[in-house]
A = this chain, B = another copy of it.
Amino acid sequence: MIALITDFGLSDIYVGVMKSVIYGLAPNAVVVDITHGIAPYDVRAGSFALRGALPYIASGTVVVVIVDPGVGSTRLPIAVRSGKSWIIAPNNGVISGVAFDQAVVLDKPEAHRQGQISSTFHGRDIFAPAAAMLHESHDLLTVGTPIESKSLVSLERGHLSRTDASLIAEAQHIDRFGNIITNITPDILTIWAADQSDFTVTCGASMLPARRVTYYNETPVFDGLLLLVNSFGLIEIASNNASAARKLGGIQSGQAVTLKRI
């Protein structure tokens, strides 16, 4: 299996061309789109998507993650072995936060697309051929040369701090439903707020009441925001059959959200 995460979107031919190259080199591969909807250039969002999806991807899979504003520059294309899977990506932090036990730089010309390598589409010319080769060989050394793990770029973690009165966190992702996935773990919320159930959530100029629940339509008549543990083990700010993000004035990922106990 080869799984893909990119910021290419689906309106251009880029994803289709990458898949065509993969199938041309590895006709028996099963290619799975995790998502191509990462916001353009948003390396942090790519990293968040990878960390979310990885636990559910079957062992033996080659995961290709491309959010690559530095394509064609000196940033290196790399691959790592993570447990029984492999991850291929540009070395720009998009795979940071993922444990791995071996890393290579994709410097083997025989693992690149034959012909000239473009300086704008390494997805087609470097990452797809490496994925196809790794899918067949299951051996990082067929596609690259070992590098030290400390050469891998690491992203700073999102802001998270607390006082007695407030918990200041970050919106890591806004999903299609307008749910706001924060970087707060249930443990942290419990340490800070014990079993308290009523809060306010502030983002910029917007402040709304919020209630801790376990599923979306638990309190149908309550019109405020909901705080729940989402399916990826993070505190999510939601709203029953409505967009929490819209209620909070159109919050974007990366923005701060502040919780206060009522």
- Inter-subunit contact A119/B16 (CB<8 Å): no
A156 interface residue, CB < 8 Å from B? no
Q: How many residues of A contact B (CB 8 A)?
A: 60
Please determine whether A20 and B176 come into contact, CB atoms closer than 8 angstroms: no
Scan residues 1-42 of chain A and give those whose CB is less than 8 A from a CB of chain B: 1, 3, 5, 8-17, 19-21, 23-24, 27, 30, 32-37, 40-41
Question: Which partner residue on chain B sits nearest A25 by CB separation?
Answer: B58
Residues of B within 8 A of A56 (CB): 17, 20-21, 24, 124
- Provide the A65-89 mask, 1 if CB < 8 A to any CB of B, else 0: 0000111110000000000000000
| Chain B residue nearest in CB terms to A21 | B56
8 A Cβ contacts from A182-237 to B: 214-218, 228, 230-231, 236
Alpha-carbon gap, A20 to B70, bound state (A): 29
Q: Which residue of B lies closest to A75 (CB)?
A: B217
The answer for the CA separation of A8 and B231 in the assembled complex, in Å, is: 14
Q: Is B23's CB under 8 angstroms from A32's CB?
A: yes
Q: Contact at B52–A23, with CB atoms within 8 Å?
A: no
Cα distance A52–B15 in the bound complex, in angstroms: 12
The reply to whether A36 and B10 contact each other, CB–CB distance below 8 Å, is: yes
A40 touches B230 (CB 8 A): no
CB of B118 within 8 A of CB of A231, answer yes
- Residues B13 and A49 in contact, CB atoms below 8 Å apart: yes
Distance in Å from the Cβ of A226 to the closest Cβ of chain B?
Answer: 10
- The CA of A15 and the CA of B41, in the complex, are separated in Å by 22
Closest to A51 in B: B13
Which residues of A are interface residues toward B (Cβ below 8 A)?
1, 3, 5, 8-17, 19-21, 23-24, 27, 30, 32-37, 40-41, 49, 52-53, 56-58, 61, 69-73, 118-121, 124-125, 173, 175-177, 214-218, 228, 230-231, 236, 241
